[in-house]
Structure 1
Amino acid sequence: MFDKLKSKIENAIDSKHPHEIQISIPDASKVSKKDIYRYRYNYGVNLGSLFVLENWIYDDLFGHGGGSELDAVTSEMKATSASDAGRKLAQHYESYISSIDWAFLQNAGVTAVRVPIGYWHVGNGKFVDGLPHESVKHVYQSAKPWDFLKQLTATAGGHDIGVLVDLHGLPGGANADSHSGCTISTASFFHNSGYINQVVNEILPFIAKDICVNNENVIGLQIVNESVFDNKASGQKSYYLKAVKAIQNVDSTLPVVISDGWWPQQWADWVQKHGLATTVVVDSHVYRCFSDGDKAKSAQEITGELSKTLNFPKDQADYMVGEFSCVLDSKTWDMTHGDRQKLVQTFGNTEISVFAENASWGWFFWTLQFEHGDGGEWGFVPMVNNSAIPKRPSGAHSIIGDNEIKMFVQQHADYWKDKGGDHMEHWRYEDGLRSSVADMSAFANFKNSLVGRWYSWKTQRRQQYVKQKGDGEFMWEWEQGYQKGLDESNHY
């Protein structure tokens, strides 16, 4: 039985860890603020409709009609002028950013904001020639959204808050929804080589060089938002691979975020196949208010099923929940009995709890602020104030000490004593446990942060250890020790 168990563990480890990977993480004593920004577990929020406009969040720019940003800006430009439209956009950017309550975000424990942008914003319209937004180029040259993004990033950094730059709008669309920036019936980006080449060869490298490298609080670059579901996803796979390589040529340690296309396992398999599991984070969006199946369930049923309906393959890749809310459909509420506020609190807290077990890079609520009102169950501020979204603790969380380490090592040895333990290497278990504790302590020293991107971090730390002390048939003991530390202390 022992041989079978040992073989199973060793085979699992071999399948998860390539023999040679690029190690980008430092020793625990040298973990920098930049490292923590890029790896820590996130309590985050989206800045929806700051740059990529959505009528239901901010409608001021849609005064002359239009179902998407391109339509709205085109209508505004025709009704007034390109300079006037640009001036109105600039006023929107300035008003939105000045309305952000950074003290509130800090008090809520926010670690990062996800900032959706369109390709047309990059470099203030620098890359729209030959693309759908070319006709409004002068509007964005005048509005200068890229300057505002840089200002926002600097301000966030002053509050120890990270920025995830999210290329939300791609030419031709990664999906056919209006938040892609234009009105289309079918997403065409992934099957248009001209669009892909312009994004990969020009736009992504510019973003990486101009804002990601120069700001320690830029935590990553998301190269797509909500890719359409595709069983083969050949277009997505081709684009993702080219995009990752283009970004790595600028900064090999910058996290690159892709969309799960509503199928998490598909992309765990992909990152494993291409050896990108230490570089790529997979973004999955979690909403329980859109599908017919969820609309047919009560709030209690949806909440009770969360742990079963959300289960990322976290032993193969790192995941984040880039969007979610506390919203349930009106049909759900029609069949639900009980105090709505308490049920929303339970739903939101359950979401956060389930994410903490599955999403190694944390979560980003949709969304922060609205032109009219607070957004209700779509709004981060009211959901934090109503305790539906728990605040991240600011005080130091408990991390196991030396006595507990010795106790766990003894328990490990006792368990294996009559199962071949005399021939094993329990010192590796202790090494893994102590390494885990050192890492967690380093992260906790910066704003009580938790170790995130568990797969990437642990894989790299393991490879470092192998280089220092050699590989062997009992490396699974190191793995178990490292994981034991995370299980015991890497949470609030």
Structure 2
Amino acid sequence: MFHKIKQKFESAKEHHGGNSQTNFGISIPTAGDISKREIYRNRYNHGVNLGSCFVNESWIYDTIFEKGGDNEYDAVSRQVKETSVDEAAENLSRHYKEYISKIDWKWLKEEAGITALRVPVGYWHVGNGKFVKSLAFESLQNVYAKAKPWDAFKDLIKKAEENDIGILVDIHGLPGGANTDSHSGESVKTASFFGSRSYVDIMVNEVIPFIVTDVCQGNENIIGLQIVNEAAFDNDAKKQKKYYSRAVKSVKSIDESLPVVISDGWWPQQWSDWLEKEKLDTSVVIDSHVYRCFSDDDKSKNADSICKDIPNSINFPRDKADYVVGEFSCVLDGETWSKTKETRDECVKKFGNSEIKQFSQVASWGWFFWTLQFKYGDGGEWGLKPMTEKGAIPKRPKDASIPPDENKIKDIIKEHNDYWKDKGGDKMEHWRFEDAIRCAIADIEAFHKFDGSRLGRWHAWSEQRKLQHIQEKGESDYIWEWKQGYQRALDEFNGYHY
């Protein structure tokens, strides 16, 4: 929706010689009049990953790895070789059912306050093995046709909707791999997806359109489509950019308002700059993963130092684009613990809360903890439930002072007017500042009515509202006052109080 609004606005502005007061015929929701689908797609998320539900990882669930293998392709191939296609399919099908049946929906909704699940899937799961021809998983097509992971995924979507929980479809495994890790589903020595025209063509022309048409359009609780997970770092990333451009176009040709999620490739600034340049900043959300247990730099620090460094090390340019932390945990490395004097539980709680606090400042689409559940045990510092119960991951607050106190609103407006009084304020348009405050509050109230939600995607949403304001009230040199007012209202009234 946002991309279309911006496109129409710009074309109409050019056509009318820059006269932005023209009625552009843009159909967008007025302040406070927001559909449930739009809230799902734009609210701030307290989320969790369903690690190893579909894209299997042996350290989380070892069900399909009983015959060996380091990744899903090798594990299933070995089982087929040693048993049969039917037995391998039954093993997978049983895993999907057991995993999903184990989900405690009541706890997720009422205790943890989870708003959405990030669900990793591989291209080989889509349509029950429909798109594997000429790809690595082609030899296993019959297995997935019988195991029916896509049917299980659709059941999961419905169960989530019954609990007001959204689903982020995460294409975790791409042909040839976006990275060389086993969570791509197959063994690759070099990540070859972005450099292969045939791989990209299959995803952009076949897989992505199928996903959008088959599950995203018909389910109002689908919050977005992630078109890649953890793209390898690339200094110029020309091939990644080509894929992202084509994929976004593919999605938007079917569903204009569906958020498209890309990987930051371990360089957040690179992608906000690119999105701004390509005018895709209101269509795309950038996914950045936050772990403090892998790098030598983090291993060299104690827990307290890592916590204190979070505001500096997690600092996305939120004014340029929308960000989501698609994965993070409360795990610190053994070397860090060897340098730490404080108790482990105390440090873990401090670490988790420091992460959540920082995310609430810079990640406008929220966060997704890695991960929900394990076959054995609770996952410790990788597990959502133990971390929530220990207070390391705060439960989502649903109480808020909404509507805000009118006196507080008037004080903010007066403060703005007084500041500019002796700085040329008499020539300014302070009414725009107040207009933005009132508009933002109406939006905040509308989101809050749906299960205590908070407005998210601050960049895209405020840009939409700014263009709507210009359409209705006209262009001006003082649009900056409107922008300041909207952002001030978000800062004052939209945050979670942990």
Is 2:56 aligned against 1:66? Answer: no
Measure the CA separation in 2 of the matches of 1:58 and 1:76. Answer: 16
CA deviation profile, 1:303-362 (whole Å, cap 9, x unmatched): 010000111011100000000000000000011011110110000000000000010000
Deviations 1:192-228, CA, capped at 9 Å, x for gaps: 1001001100000000000000000000000000000
Which of 357, 361, 367 is residue 361 of structure 2 equivalent to? 357
RMSD: 1.2
Conserved in 2, the CA contact under 8 Å of 1:25 and 1:457?
no
Whether 1:171 aligns to 2:171 is: no
Which residue of the partner structure matches residue 81 of structure 1?
A: 84
Q: Give the aligned partner of residue 29 of structure 1.
A: 32
Note the 1:239-250 alignment, pairs <5 A: 239-250=243-254
Distance in 2 (CA, whole Å) between partners of 1:70 and 1:449 is: 39
Q: Distance in 2 between matches of 1:395 and 1:476?
A: 32
Q: What does residue 301 of structure 2 align with?
A: 297
2:347 counterpart of 1:343: yes
The count of aligned residue pairs is 476
Q: TM-score, normalised by structure 2?
A: 0.94
Amino acid of the structure 1 residue aligned with 2:37:
K
Q: 1:410: Cα distance to partner?
A: 1.3
Tell me by how many angstroms 1:396 deviates: 3.8
1:270 Cα offset (Å): 1.1
Shifted more, 98-107 versus 402-411: the winner is: 402-411
Conserved 8 A contact 1:325-1:365: yes
Whole-Å separation in 2 of the counterparts to 1:111 and 1:94: 22
- In structure 2, the partner of 1:430 is 434
Q: Distance in 2 between matches of 1:485 and 1:288?
A: 33
| Aligned-partner SS, 1:407 | helix
1:464 and 2:464 aligned = no
SS at structure 2 position matched to 1:314? coil
Native 8 Å contact 1:116 1:166 kept in 2? yes
What is the CA-CA distance between 1:395 and the residue it aligns to?
2.8
Which among 219, 227, 231 is matched to residue 215 of structure 1?
A: 219
CA contact (8 A) 1:400 1:488 kept: no
Q: State yes or no: 1:477 paired with 2:481.
A: yes
Report if aligned partners of 1:110, 1:161 keep a CA contact under 8 Å in 2: yes
2:21 matches 1:20: no
The equivalences for 1:107-126 within 5 A come to 107-126=111-130
Structure 1, unmatched stretches of 5+, are 1-16
Q: Distance in 2 between matches of 1:466 and 1:366?
A: 41
Q: Structure 2 vs 1, CA of residues 105 and 29 (structure 1 numbering), >3 Å: closer, same or farther?
A: same
Residues 46, 368 of structure 1: 8 Å contact kept: yes
Report if the CA contact (8 A) 1:436-1:482 is conserved: yes
* Residue 43 (structure 1) aligns with: 46
Query: By how many angstroms is 1:394 displaced?
Result: 2.6
Is 1:259 matched with 2:263? yes
Is it true that 1:190 corresponds to 2:194 in the alignment? yes
Other-structure match for 1:440: 444
Partner Cα distance (1:99, 1:181) in 2: 23
Deviation of 1:397 after TM superposition, in Å, equals 4.2
2:128 is matched by which residue type in structure 1? N
Aligned-residue offset at 1:278:
0.7
The 2-side partners of 1:160 and 1:370 are apart by: 24
Could you give the per-residue CA deviations for residues 4-43 of structure 1, whole angstroms, max 9, x where no partner exists? xxxxxxxxxxxxx886389775112320110000000000
**Equivalent position to 1:321, from 310, 325, 328:** 325
SS of match in other structure, 1:325: strand
1:484, CA displacement in angstroms? 1.1
What's the counterpart of residue 374 of structure 1? 378
Q: Report deviation, 1:398.
A: 4.1
Does the 8 A contact of 1:361 with 1:452 survive in 2?
Answer: yes
Which digits, 9 at most, give the CA deviation of each residue in 1:42-91, with x for residues without a partner? 00000000000001001121111111100000001111111110000000
Q: Which amino acid aligns with 1:170?
A: L
State the shift of 1:401 in Å: 3.2
Kept in 1: contact 2:32–2:445 (CA 8 A): no
Structure-2 separation of matches of 1:411 and 1:449: 28
Report the residue type matching 1:471 in the other structure: E
Q: Which residue does 1:97 correspond to in 2?
A: 100
Q: 2: CA distance between counterparts of 1:184 and 1:25?
A: 45
Distance 1:232 1:396 in 2: 44
Structure 1 segments, 4+ long, off by >3 Å, are 21-25, 396-399
1:409 aligns with 2:400: no
Q: Which runs of 5+ in 2 are unaligned?
A: 1-5, 12-23
Q: Secondary structure at the match of 2:292?
A: coil
Residue 151, structure 1, aligned to residue 141, structure 2: no
Task: Please state how far the C-alpha of 1:414 moved relative to its aligned partner.
Answer: 0.9
In the alignment, is the contact (CA less than 8 A) between 1:25 and 1:31 conserved in 2? no
Say which SS state the counterpart of residue 326 (structure 1) adopts.
strand
Identity %: 58
Structure 1 residue matching 2:282: 3-state secondary structure: coil
- Whether the 8 Å CA contact 1:397–1:448 is kept in 2: the answer is no
Deviations 1:87-111 (A, max 9, x none): 0000000000000000110121100
Alignment check: 8 A CA contact 2:194 2:239 kept: yes
Cα 1:397–1:449 change in 2 (3 A) is: farther
